[in-house]
Amino acid sequence: MKMDVNKLVKNFLDYFLPGKCFDEFLAFNFFEGNCLPLLISRLLGVGITVGSCLLFVPQILKIYQAKSAEGISLASQLFGLVSCSAVAAYSYEKKFIFGQWGDSFFVALQTVLIIRLYFSTWVQALIYKCYTIRKSSSS
């Protein structure tokens, strides 16, 4: 178990400070080579990815609570899904690090959820309208 934790910590640190950068940071040589820009780049990538996990959460909650996707453009959601999926798929295929394409992946997942809510609320609205039409005509 201890080996697994050590390996996990080493992999985590190696992601942010690859190669000789880890040794340079331990020696307090923060401005040695490209280590500081690389660290900042990796931290920003992770920050953007974490932020993208919450990007559409308010919109998803609003659609869910209102039980209506009125005002949502299906075409724009589909175009957004295609673009995010293409970026994520291309980056995954080229073996880019997750910090470079993770934001597109999470935005695509949230867009899929919005599209699903769009159709489920549309079907619910259609069923409700048919039910109320039948109910009013049978009265």
Of the chain, the percentage scoring pLDDT greater than 90 comes to 32
Which candidate, 110, 92, 99, 6, places its Cα nearest to that of 49?
99
pLDDT at residue 20 in the model: 82
Vertex 82 angle, CA 76 and 85, to 5°: 135
Task: Show me where the domains of the chain are located.
Answer: 54-138
C-alpha distances (whole Å) from 107 to each of 33, 34, 63, 67, 94 are 34, 30, 17, 21, 20
Residues 113-139 as b/e (b if ≥16 CB within 10 A, e otherwise) read: bbbebbeebeeeeeeeeeeeeeeeeee
Round to whole Å and give the CA distance between 57 and 8: 30
State pTM to two decimals. 0.69
pLDDT at residue 57 in the model: 92
Q: Does domain 54-138 have CATH number 1.20.1280?
A: yes
Round to whole Å and give the CA distance between 11 and 24: 17
Cα–chain center distance at 131: 38
pLDDT digits (tens, 9 = 90+) for 26-70: 777 777 778 788 888 888 888 888 888 899 999 999 988 888 888
